[in-house]
Chains A and B, each alone.
Chain A
Amino acid sequence: MQLAPLPVVVPLAVAAALAIIGKHLHRRIVDSISIATSAAVVIISITLTFQSANGAIVYWFGNWQPLAKSHFPIGICFAIDPIGAGLSSLAALLVLAAFTFSWSYFESVGALYHVLMLVFLAAMCGLALTGDLFNMFVWLEVMTAVGVALCGYKSEQSQSLQGALNFAVVNTIGAFLSLMGVALLYGATGSLNLAEVGRTLAAGHFSQGFVTVALLLVTAGFLVKSATFPFHFWLADAHAVAPTPVCILFSGVMVELGLYAIGRIYWVVFAQSAQPAPQTIRDVFLLMGSLTAVVGALYCFGQRHLKRLLAFSTISHVGIMLIAFSLLNPRALAGMALYLAGHGLIKAALFIGAGILLHRFGSLDEYDLQRSIAKRLAPIGVLMVLGAWGLAGLPPFATFFGEMRIDEIGSQQHLTWLPAITIFAEALTAAAVLRFTARVFFGVGRQGKSMVSAGAPHLHTDAETSGQHSRVPAFMWVPMAALIIGAALIAVPLRGPVETAAKHFESAPLYDAAVLRINAQTAAPRPYDRPFEAHGESEWWIPLLVALATLGAAAASLFPKSPRTAFARPIGAVLSKTVLELRRFQSGRVGDYVAWFAFGIAAYGSLLLLLH
């Protein structure tokens, strides 16, 4: 039996069937069908991950194999490697968690919610598994179309529509540039297959400018999807209004899929041609990642609305993962994969925590909730603290092993300032979650205005369930606990395999050989070596510093008047000023976001050209 197409085809078929008959089925039956479907996709994707560990699985749709003589591909293929299949497993797992969570939550309009979620799952799997440039774009578009609908699901509130509108406009403009990039590459190489485009680019004589512009345009849509600075504004607006199960998917895996696509496209299409120079790619993407990590962390720490806070933390962590990609090293990429898996699971768990608060109290505001201290939710509070621990990249979570690899390669490439960025981002995001949890779940800390949150607009979130609930259903806390435990358990067994997978991911000749059925030895059209391939020393002191900084920042914001936190007051003053300045840019106006988008693309494009 061929498993390869099933992660996409099964959810699509079930979604279409539910669109027809879902209205007449009991809500519980629709729930069960959805849970069973996503569980099946989890199993299929994990099986594919194991199968592809022995070599990429290449699956030609419609049985259109590459032409016999010229090896020229005329169909669309899935080229499944462990990293792609692993991402598809993560996506399915989070959809499963989201469906489980929404069992006792959330009133559905017919079965529309389930239909949209299942199509979303199919699109994410499609993007992770495909080996075709245009097919990538198609799944990106499906993700946007579904994402907008899910984001505005509570359409009776005007903020929901506003968030969905910002999502739609910014992502569509990004996707439009991606489409132009695809068109450029097709126009120049006559192919849409990733491997074939890469080989033609490497073999032909293309100008530096053309290849750079093509790279920039193709990745533009994915940079928006992955909420890179300054294309990140839509993400927080969308998260603040989207229903909790949808936030789980947005933060846990959709945003990361944008990064995956950038990595896949770069390594298969552009790396072989060595245009733009790897050094340039590293510098520009390092800059993008660092800006994203720092800005996201600042915003995150200044938030008191939990969903927004978590959304900005996602932006910050995306920055760290983008830094990992920019190091262009297989070990850093393995670190990125570990970080991505750990972050996805932890962030999903934290969003479930937010959903539990909404279910119980109908609010997500730190100060509102502090008054109705959620003491009886202490076990959930413990899980939230563990989540903050994971966000800080501390053992035993997968994020720890990821971060260690990233820092190791960073120091090996003499980027002495890099630890400052990762420590700053991880400590502030973890401290923000810790501060929120301490206030809301344990009643620690001063009531009212803290130093950073002063002047925060009061955000009101309407409850997603009706009535007050006195206990937390098992359908909510079980997935939350399972995700947190999973983020710790996967770390050690994944370490070894992910290194091998990352090496293969970064080897275009191996990929081309598998897809186009050509000899791996002769596959490379020109001598091809990876410039940054080396190991470094383990930087064990970084997690220690992160832990200290996290505790310090959380304590300083909880007890701003205490003499013991006097050390942090000058830093706090600077931070809160910066946050207030930054907040003015998060205006919620889509026109502003589009202006930032245009500026960002032009700026990164110029840098890619000028740094050569």
Chain B
Amino acid sequence: MRRSWRMLLFFAGAAGIVCLFTLAAEPISQPRDVRNRYATAIISETFSQRNITDAVSAVNFDFRGFDTVGEEFILFVSVLGSLVLLRMVEDRKGKVLRDALEPWRDVGPSDAIRLWILAMIAPKVTFGIYIVTHGQLTPGGGFQGGVILATAALILYLGEGFTVFRDVISHPATEIVEGAGALGFVVIGMLAWVWGQPFLTNVLPLGKAHELTSGGTMALISISTGLEVAAGFILLLYAFLQENLSPVEET
């Protein structure tokens, strides 16, 4: 199709879709007690039945936990899919590979930057673990905390380059953690099933509100999601950084 035709087709369609959207303002005119009834129901249930203080995590990991199983597996297969699509092509196997950005590293970064970056890793890991484990108490949880954990690895790469990154973070171990995170969620869900309760029923003691141990299975699911997300993002980082590698030319 010629470019002009494509543009015409697209903008005609897009204009039509914009017009359609103008008709979709209806929800705003609906009475609030209908629109908000899910939120109302959840907030009363969260505090009275689950002893936790973050309603969003309760929806993610308990009330609508089954959606989160699916979402976690979207991430899981997206990472695996990227590994499949980006896997090393044959002609690079068995050769000495070097980061294409490596020559640039002959001059920098300076020790000051390296020190500063490395000093950030410990706080980052701590903060990530904090966000993962406090999902049921404060905004956060496995998804957000997992990404923060993964940025610790990114910082390591920025400071030290790919070689150190590869030596410190083992690829097979990361793969195992990723699978374990995904499996963990399903296993926690199956706990209830084994006891004759529906999948993902919160069968553990719910603890006291405002404490780390509150929320029953929610905390565990949050942790296993955190593992999966952190490992998944590190694997993605691996795959994309490996794209940068090129065989060292023999001289």
On A, residues with C-beta under 8 Å from B are 2, 5, 9, 12-13, 15-17, 19-20, 23, 59-64, 67, 72, 74-76, 109, 112, 115-116, 119, 122-123, 126, 132, 134-135, 138-139, 141-142, 145-146, 148-149, 152-153, 155-156, 161, 164, 184, 186-192, 200, 204, 206-207, 209-210, 212-214, 216-217, 584-585, 587, 589, 591-592, 594-603, 605-606, 609
User: Using Cβ atoms and an 8 Å threshold, which residues of chain A touch B82?
Assistant: 149
Known A-B contacts: A187-B27, A603-B13. Give 10 more (CB < 8 A).
Answer: A2-B193, A20-B180, A145-B81, A149-B81, A188-B35, A190-B34, A204-B34, A210-B26, A595-B7, A595-B10
Q: Do A142 and B74 touch (CB < 8 A)? A: yes
Contact residues in B for A209 (Cβ distance below 8 Å): 23-24, 26
Digit string of B194-210 for contact with A (CB within 8 Å is 1, else 0)? Answer: 00111111100000000
The interface-forming segment of B121-129, B182-190, B242-250 is B182-190
- Closest A residue by C-beta to B30: A188
Q: Which residues of B contact A15 (CB under 8 A)?
A: 182
User: Which of B57-65, B94-102, B151-159 contacts the other chain?
Assistant: B57-65
Rank and list the top 3 A-B pairs by shortest CB-CB distance, nearest first. A602-B16, A149-B81, A598-B13
Instruction: Determine how close the nearest CB of chain A comes to the CB of B63; give it in whole angstroms.
Output: 6
CB atoms of A210 and B24 under 8 A apart: yes
Partner pick for A76 among B23, B67, B78, B90, CB 8 A cutoff: B67
CA distance A217 to B21 in the complex (A): 10
Stretch binding the partner chain, chosen from B36-44, B104-112, B133-141, B160-168: B36-44
Q: How far is the CB of B215 from chain A (nearest CB, A)?
A: 13
The residue in chain A whose Cβ has the minimal distance to the Cβ of B41 is A74
A501 to B27, CA, bound (A): 34
Bound complex: CA of A146 vs CA of B80, how far in Å? 9
Number of interface residues of B (CB under 8 A): 74
On chain A, the residues within 8 Å of B86 by CB distance are 155
Chain B contacts of A184 at CB under 8 A? 24, 26-27
Cβ–Cβ contact A16 & B80, under 8 A: no
Known contacts A16-B179, A138-B71: A61-B200 contact under CB 8 Å = yes
The chain A residue with its CB closest to the CB of B6 is A595
Cβ contact within 8 Å between A155 and B84? yes
B198 touches A60 (CB 8 A): yes
A589 in contact with B1 (CB, 8 Å): yes
Q: Determine the chain B residues whose CB is within 8 A of the CB of A134 once the complex forms.
A: 64, 67
Cα A592 to Cα B4 with chains together (Å): 11
- B115 sits at the interface (CB 8 A): no
Q: Whole-angstrom distance between the alpha carbons of A605 and B24 in the complex?
A: 12
Complex Cα distance A409/B28, Å?
41
In the assembly, what is the distance between CA of A172 and CA of B138, in Å? 32
Complex CA gap A454/B23 in Å reads 48
Query: Which residues of B sit under 8 angstroms from A191, Cβ to Cβ?
Result: 37-38
Q: Shortest CB–CB separation between residue A190 and chain B, in angstroms?
A: 4
Known: A20-B179, A61-B199, A187-B27. A109 touches B87 (CB 8 A): yes
A598-B77 contact given A210-B23, A212-B23, CB 8 Å threshold? no
- Give chain B residues whose Cβ lies under 8 Å from the Cβ of A161: 85
Q: Number of contacts between A and B (CB, 8 Å)?
A: 232
Q: 9 A-B Cβ contacts within 8 A? A: A9-B190, A19-B76, A19-B80, A72-B37, A119-B73, A122-B73, A142-B70, A188-B26, A606-B20
- Residues from chain B with Cβ under 8 Å of A145 in the complex: 74, 77-78, 81
Complex CA distance for A467 and B112, rounded to whole angstroms: 57
Given the known inter-chain contacts A190-B35, A605-B16, please indicate yes or no for A139 contacting B70, CB distance below 8 A: yes
B residues apposed to A, CB below 8 Å: 1, 6-7, 9-10, 12-17, 19-21, 23-28, 30, 34-38, 41-42, 45, 62-67, 69-71, 73-74, 76-78, 80-87, 89-90, 172, 175-176, 178-180, 182-183, 186-187, 189-190, 192-193, 196-202
A207 to B67, CA, bound (A): 30
Interface pair B12/A602, CB less than 8 Å apart:
yes
Docked complex Cα distance between A336 and B86 (Å): 40
A19 touches B182 (CB 8 A): yes
B190 to chain A, nearest CB (A): 7
* Residue of B45, B80, B187 with most chain A CB atoms under a 10 A cut-off: B80
Given the interface pairs A12-B73, A62-B63, A213-B24, the reply to whether A20 lies near B83 with Cβ below 8 Å is no
The answer to whether A16 and B36 touch across the interface, beta carbons within 8 angstroms, is no
Q: Give the residues in chain B near A76, CB-CB below 8 Å.
A: 64, 66-67
B42 to chain A: which residues have CB within 8 Å? Answer: 74
How far apart sit A271 and B23, CA to CA, in the bound complex (Å)? 20
**Cβ-closest chain A residue relative to B8:** A595
Once bound together, how far apart are the Cα atoms of A266 and B71, in whole Å? 25
C-alpha gap A213/B18 in the complex (Å): 11
Q: Which residues of B contact A60 (CB under 8 A)?
A: 198
Q: Which of B16, B36, B42 has the most CB of A within 10 A?
A: B16
Q: Is the CB of A61 within 8 A of B66?
A: yes
Contacts of B20 in A (CB 8 A): 213, 216, 601-602, 605-606, 609
The residue of chain B having its C-beta at the shortest distance from the C-beta of A606 within the complex is B16
Cβ-defined contact, A591 with B6, below 8 A: yes
Known: A63-B198, A64-B63, A601-B17. A112 touches B34 (CB 8 A): no
A75 near B64 with CB under 8 A, answer yes
Q: Which of A23, A61, A138, A152 has the most CB of B within 10 A?
A: A61
Q: Is the CB of B63 within 8 A of A74?
A: yes
Residue of B nearest to A600 (CB): B13
**Hey, which chain A residues are within 8 Å of B87, CB to CB?**
109, 155
* One of B38, B84, B179, B197 near A109 (C-beta < 8 A): B84
Asked if residues B198 and A59 are in contact (CB atoms below 8 Å), the reply is: yes
Measured between beta carbons, the chain A residues less than 8 angstroms from B27 are: 184, 187-188, 210
Complex Cα–Cα for A56 and B36 (A): 29
- With A74-B63, A126-B70, A602-B20 already in contact, the answer to whether A112 and B1 are too (CB < 8 A) is no
Nearest residue in B to A189 (C-beta to C-beta)? B34
Cα separation A164 to B82 with both chains bound (whole Å) = 11
A379 to chain B, nearest CB (A): 35
In angstroms, Cα B8 to Cα A592, docked, is 11
A587 and B37 in contact, given A5-B193, A13-B183, A605-B17 (Cβ under 8 angstroms): no
The residue of chain A having its C-beta at the shortest distance from the C-beta of B28 within the complex is: A187
A373 to chain B, nearest CB (A): 33
Contact of B13 among A74, A132, A155, A599 (CB under 8 A): A599
Beta-carbon contact of A598 and B6 below 8 Å: no
Closest Cβ neighbor of B78 among chain A residues: A145
A209 CA to B16 CA, complexed, in Å: 14
B30 CB to closest chain A CB (Å) equals 5
With a cutoff of 8 Å between Cβ atoms, the chain B residues found around residue A189 in the complex are 34-35
User: If A16-B179, A19-B179, A122-B73 touch, does A597 touch B81 (CB 8 Å cutoff)?
Assistant: no
C-alpha spacing A115/B13, complex, angstroms: 39
Say which residue of A74, A115, A123, A149 sits within 8 Å of B70 (CB atoms): A123
- Chain B residue with Cβ nearest A24: B172
Least Cβ distance of A198 to chain B in Å?
14
Enumerate chain A residues within 8 angstroms of B14, measured Cβ to Cβ.
598, 602
The answer to whether A152 and B67 have CB atoms under 8 Å apart is no
The contact of A152 among B7, B9, B10, B85, by CB within 8 Å, is B85
The minimal Cβ–Cβ distance linking B77 to chain A, given in whole angstroms, is 5
**Beyond A62-B62, A595-B10, is A601–B21 a contact (Cβ under 8 Å)?**
no
Q: Which residues of B contact A584 (CB under 8 A)?
A: 1
> What chain A residues lie within 8 Å of B35 (beta carbons)?
187-190
Residues of A within 8 A of B76 (CB): 16, 19, 119
Contact with B81, one of A116, A186, A188 (Cβ below 8 angstroms):
A116
Closest chain-B Cβ to A589's Cβ sits at a distance in Å of 7
Query: With a CB–CB cut-off of 8 A, which chain A residues contact B67?
Result: 76, 132, 134-135, 138
